[in-house]
Structure 1
Amino acid sequence: MHIAPLSPHDPAELGGFELLGRIGQGGMGQVYLGESPGGEPAAIKVIKPSVVDSETRQRFAQEVEILKTIWGARIAALLDADAEADPPWLATEYIEGPDLSRHVTRHGALPPLLTASLGATLAEALATVHKQGLLHRDLKPANVLLGPNGPKVIDFGLAVFAESSASLTAPNTVVGTPSCMPPEQARGDRPLTPAADVYALGAVMLFAVTGHLPYQAANINVLFHQVTDPDTAPDLSGVPDDLLPLLTAMLAHRAGDRPALGEVVQRCRTLIEAQGVKVAQARRRLTTHTAAPASEREVLLPTVLAPAPPVAPGDLPDTEPYAPAATTLVLPPGAPEPTPTLVDRPAPGPGSPVAPPPAAPTTPASPPAPAPDADAVPKAEPDPAAAPAPAPRPRSRSGQRLHSAQARITAQRLREVYAASSAF
């Protein structure tokens, strides 16, 4: 998960949550890393004041109400929200880890076994959502976070009640991410059924195992034509033979030809067990494979109570703005070129470069030291003549001390990054 420093124009806190950095942005909103007074990390989603109007506020309020009804181990939980605030905001559980799109871009496609485990896990999560009478409608790689306890689904901003024809969108418009959108959703058919989420899950699994999506085009109207044309088959190149029948069925053009989520779970389970691995073992392997390296976690969200050591240039987090592929408002094929409501970041293709992991520093061999107690301050007394005085505890811009060691060290790292990259 990228964490960029706050800008001078960002608020210091929202709804009691102290803001520590930026973790996502788009045309309509900004997502911050925040922390509650009790030290609970949170992802704070805020609508930009420049785009707040009655319809945007109503849609945001609908998202809040929907999040209140959703529960599940694989769903990022709602912590708090205020759709009437200026600007409107909501806080959800913070998942420490990259999204699937970023992981595949940086580290390459997942092995077939782990893709099957991902499919089974997400299919169960979506089944839970469907049991609550809801559809996600915008499942995509950027909306799957790979946390330390396994994948979780986020961003229910487009979720609607199943079989409901109600919509906050204008007539003749389609809202969603075209590259992961089923044909019936791209055509604007209503009502949508759970088969729409099955198709999107198939697109996510395809991306996980190959690094590309079912359809890709530089022009949005061409992409819509590919998705809605029954004679244009999805690109399944690179799919392993054991996954090909399942993904072919999930990406079927007709909604009625797609398997139900329960069947998806069972078929993924069969693929996993055919390799002599239990489903629970495969999920643990997936979590181990996709979890952020310890060195990366220490840079982003350290938890040790000792003062933060000096940061070497190679240890600094990447400060490139992170804009997850987000909801896009588009017109159906044949309409003039649309203007997206949020920037839809294109997914990487098969030839996209994958950044290698940083090389580990070479150090002389030495006997292993005992593991430090993460909840205790080091007891060794430094030499007063040699050791510098400890740095004062950082404070927020409001003058209050940050709420935990995790927040203090995170904020200190972010300030160092900002100072190093600032032009003034």
Structure 2
Amino acid sequence: MNAAPLSPEDPTELGGFELLGRVGHGGMGQVYLGESPGGEPAAVKVIKPSVVDSETRLRFAQEIEVLKTIWGPRIAAFLDADAEAEQPWLATEYIDGPDLRKHIHTHGPLPMVLAASLGATLAEALAGVHKQGLLHRDLKPANILLGPNGPKIIDFGLAVFTESSASLTAPNTVLGTPACMAPEQANGVKPLTAPVDVYALGAVLLYAASGHYPFQADNIHALFHLITKADAQPDLTGTPDELVPLLASMLSYDPQERPALPEVVKECRTVIEAQGLKIAQARRRLTAHTTTTEVRDTPLVPAVSPAPVDAAAFADLPTAMEPQPPGTTAPTVPLPQDGAPGYTPTVKAEPSVTGRDEQPAHPAPAPGTPPASQRGRERTGPGPQLRTSVQARRVAQQLREAYAQRAKF
């Protein structure tokens, strides 16, 4: 995939992190791929100078303090930040993988067992966040990155302390992503409580299992009307029968009728175990599925000249932020997809983060390679065969050589 090089007005270093290129942007700022002095990759989020004011700094400082508080194996780690800098910035863990939105958009819904595994993983992670006295408030497919070690949650920019009436939000203002927003959140109820994240998780799992959200409409006003209508029923079409009861309860209009997160974990385990699998086996299948589908769609890298190339030769980081404007990308070598935090309000199913809806170009399949129609399907054998094939080793070697010729290090 292609990534945009730094523009002349971009900083080349922030807080000791060398900035290598642009990976996404939104109304509030820019996200860069950075590298620490010790070689640690990072997603560096920078607030635009044009929107830096006292309120923006205060909200950004709140996000930083929240990230310092949160910990857990399914949470993208906080690295460093400076809310008082001339250009406020925040560095978080770099996750080498696509976001859930992009994966579903490209490969279609997850098989039932894998969707249940995703549900158990995310519910347990959110339960840990709640134990730390926090709510996420903006869980959505674009805020879930599918890394090589499993899914991770990013972007706690709207997170608030539970049962707290303190807020930087102006009266009658609603923040969040409408497609995954709980009715009480859409109605502006304060303070919000744990069920708001349960509803959002239900919307995420519905999208993962069926490819669509609970409610869809032609405009944001119609969508809010559906979400806040007490007798409106979420659209569960296309959802595997085994997941319908759980998702229906998670998407209940009344917060009191939604299950607690530990109960969500239990129900997901029940679905998985009914298929003769252990929860750890399902987790491994989920990670293998989301990793190998991306590997299969990575074209072979052609031979390249060792001539110097711009240092921004690295892969796009799937992010919730808007894509770079047309004409800002530079030709680069296809590399594995990466992840970075960000936020863009969404009403209907979100578009491709790169602005390209088409599938990447595929090389001619090698003998024995499954047809394209079978890509993304769950394997039932002992594991992804592509990883141990001669073709996979050849692709990996070409990627390493091409990346080495383009990187500054």
Give the structure-2-normalised TM-score.
0.78
**CA distance in structure 1 between the aligned counterparts of 2:43 and 2:119, rounded to whole angstroms:** 25
- Counterpart among 342, 363, 375 of residue 360 in structure 1: 363
Give the corresponding residue for 2:69: 69
Structure 2: segments with no counterpart, 5+ residues = 323-341, 369-388
**CA distance in structure 2 between the aligned counterparts of 1:299 and 1:158, rounded to whole angstroms:** 40
Give the match's secondary structure for 1:176.
Answer: coil
Letter in 2 for 1:181: M
Give the corresponding residue for 2:336: none
What is the Cα deviation at residue 358 of structure 1?
Answer: 3.6
Q: Aligned in 2, Cα 1:169/1:371: closer, same or farther, shift over 3 Å? A: closer
What is the Cα deviation at residue 317 of structure 1?
Answer: 7.7
1:252 and 2:252 equivalent?
Answer: yes
Q: Percent of pairs identical after alignment?
A: 64
Give the corresponding residue for 2:202: 202
Q: Is the 8 A contact 2:98 2:147 kept in 1?
A: yes
CA deviations 1:327-381 (Å, max 9, x no partner) are xxxxxxxxxxxxxx9643555389xx9744542346799x969979x99xx9xxx
**CA distance in structure 2 between the aligned counterparts of 1:215 and 1:297, rounded to whole angstroms:** 33
Give the match's secondary structure for 1:252.
Answer: coil
Give the corresponding residue for 2:6: 6
Give the match's secondary structure for 1:242.
Answer: helix
Structure 1: segments with no counterpart, 5+ residues = 301-306, 327-340, 379-389, 391-404, 413-424
What is the Cα deviation at residue 215 of structure 1?
Answer: 1.3
Q: What is the 5 A alignment of 1:229-378?
A: 229-291=229-291, 293-294=294-295, 324=320, 343-345=344-346, 347-348=348-349, 355-356=358-359, 358-361=361-364
Q: Aligned in 2, Cα 1:371/1:154: closer, same or farther, shift over 3 Å? A: closer
Higher Cα radius of gyration = 1
**CA distance in structure 2 between the aligned counterparts of 1:168 and 1:196, rounded to whole angstroms:** 18
Q: What is the 5 A alignment of 1:401-412?
A: 409-410=406-407
What is the Cα deviation at residue 216 of structure 1?
Answer: 1.5
Q: Aligned in 2, Cα 1:194/1:409: closer, same or farther, shift over 3 Å? A: same
Q: Is the 8 A contact 1:2 1:322 kept in 2?
A: no
**CA distance in structure 1 between the aligned counterparts of 2:193 and 2:103, rounded to whole angstroms:** 30
Q: Aligned in 2, Cα 1:286/1:205: closer, same or farther, shift over 3 Å? A: same
Stretch of structure 1 that moved more, 233-242 or 118-127: 233-242
Q: Is the 8 A contact 1:6 1:21 kept in 2?
A: yes
Q: Is the 8 A contact 2:100 2:146 kept in 1?
A: yes
Give me the CA root mean square deviation.
3.5
Give the match's secondary structure for 2:175.
Answer: strand
What is the Cα deviation at residue 20 of structure 1?
Answer: 1.3
Stretch of structure 1 that moved more, 106-115 or 341-350: 341-350
What is the Cα deviation at residue 63 of structure 1?
Answer: 0.5
**CA distance in structure 2 between the aligned counterparts of 1:138 and 1:34, rounded to whole angstroms:** 25
Q: Aligned in 2, Cα 1:354/1:298: closer, same or farther, shift over 3 Å? A: closer
**CA distance in structure 2 between the aligned counterparts of 1:185 and 1:364, rounded to whole angstroms:** 53
Give the match's secondary structure for 1:152.
Answer: strand
Q: Aligned in 2, Cα 1:157/1:368: closer, same or farther, shift over 3 Å? A: closer
What is the Cα deviation at residue 10 of structure 1?
Answer: 1.6
Q: Aligned in 2, Cα 1:140/1:85: closer, same or farther, shift over 3 Å? A: same
Q: What is the 5 A alignment of 1:136-215?
A: 136-215=136-215
What is the Cα deviation at residue 298 of structure 1?
Answer: 9.9
Give the corresponding residue for 1:398: none
Stretch of structure 1 that moved more, 209-218 or 143-152: 209-218
Q: Aligned in 2, Cα 1:257/1:295: closer, same or farther, shift over 3 Å? A: closer
Give the corresponding residue for 1:382: none
Give the match's secondary structure for 2:242.
Answer: coil
Q: Is the 8 A contact 2:24 2:319 kept in 1?
A: yes
Give the corresponding residue for 1:397: none
**CA distance in structure 1 between the aligned counterparts of 2:73 and 2:344, rounded to whole angstroms:** 29
Q: Aligned in 2, Cα 1:369/1:271: closer, same or farther, shift over 3 Å? A: closer
**CA distance in structure 1 between the aligned counterparts of 2:136 and 2:100, rounded to whole angstroms:** 17
**CA distance in structure 1 between the aligned counterparts of 2:149 and 2:299, rounded to whole angstroms:** 17
Give the corresponding residue for 1:394: none
Q: Is the 8 A contact 1:26 1:323 kept in 2?
A: no
Q: Aligned in 2, Cα 1:132/1:342: closer, same or farther, shift over 3 Å? A: closer
Letter in 2 for 1:237: T
Q: Aligned in 2, Cα 1:38/1:105: closer, same or farther, shift over 3 Å? A: same
Q: Is the 8 A contact 1:141 1:204 kept in 2?
A: yes
**CA distance in structure 2 between the aligned counterparts of 1:35 and 1:262, rounded to whole angstroms:** 37
